[in-house]
Amino acid sequence: MLTLVVVACNEADRIGRCLDSVPASRKLVLDSGSTDVTVSVARAHGAEVIETDWPGFVAQKNRALALVDTPFALSLDADEWLSHAAAAEVAAVLADPGSAAGWSFPRASEWLGRTVRHGAWYPDRKIRLVRTGLARWVGDDPHDHLEVDGGVVPLAGDIHHTPYRVFGDHLRTIDRYTALNARSLHARGVRARRRDPVVHAVGHFAKGYVLRQGFRDGLPGLALALLGAAHSGLKWHRLRQLGR
């Protein structure tokens, strides 16, 4: 009745936890060239693995969604897993789905071993459970999201998320994602003005640290607000460079 779909590359240390967290009748992993043992670990945890290329975040996730042959699909990244509360809610939805087309979850991310509960990182609500055929991934790589044809019901249980293994991963992700996002925006015709990098960086910091109370997470909250501001500013700086 439910297919879990995961796109992965070199996630051997995390994908088993993801797969084991979901009460799914089918588990499907699209692997895009892993050089570690992701494929064998995924199969050992009950997943069907399809080895494929990497066309981008949105295209790959839509490719995975198109392979679902059950009435419901749940999409997770390999560095995510359902809390026990969220898994119980998924089981309840499957037993009595009502008329909704999708269901969203709050996502609780860990940063350097600490779960972040404020700022731009929480609740970070994501639609992840959908009726098959009524949803598609949209957005500018790498900032994708599910769009559904119909109502969305918010659930209370968290998706857990460990986006970075070490601090260096965070810095490398900022470098990679700002380049990807700037190219996507430029391809859509978006252009940056001279002041945009500073305006967006300051706005991101103010929203996350002050308005969304990132300060309540202490020093990690301050660090994440500053890193988020750097991410936003660099994205708009790179977009401006592309337009010059």
Q: pLDDT tens digits, residue range 209-235?
A: 999 999 999 999 999 999 999 999 999
Q: Are 108 and 126 in contact (CB under 8 A)?
A: no
Interval 92-115: pLDDT, tens: 999 999 999 999 999 999 999 999
Name the token pair of 200: 């967006």
Q: Taking residues 42-70, report their average pLDDT.
A: 97
Q: Are 137 and 145 in contact (CB under 8 A)?
A: yes
Q: How far apart are CA 96 and CA 92, in angstroms?
A: 6
pLDDT (0 to 100) of residue 211: 97
Q: Are 10 and 36 in contact (CB under 8 A)?
A: yes
Query: Dihedral angle at the C-alpha atoms of 159, 7, 190, 235, nearest 10 degrees?
Result: 70
| Architecture of the CATH domain 2-161 | Alpha-Beta Complex (3.90)
Residue written as token pair 């404020």: 118
155 CB-side CA count, 13 A:
27
Residue written as token pair 């857990």: 160
Q: Is 83 exposed, middle or buried (0-12, 13-18, 19+ CB in 10 A)?
A: middle
Q: Taking residues 153-175, report their average pLDDT.
A: 97
Interval 57-78: pLDDT, tens: 999 999 999 999 999 999 999 9
Q: How far apart are CA 239 and CA 180, in angstroms?
A: 10
- Domain edges within the chain: 2-161, 167-242
Give the confidence band of 141 by pLDDT, cuts at 50, 70, 90.
confident
Averaged confidence pLDDT in the chain: 97
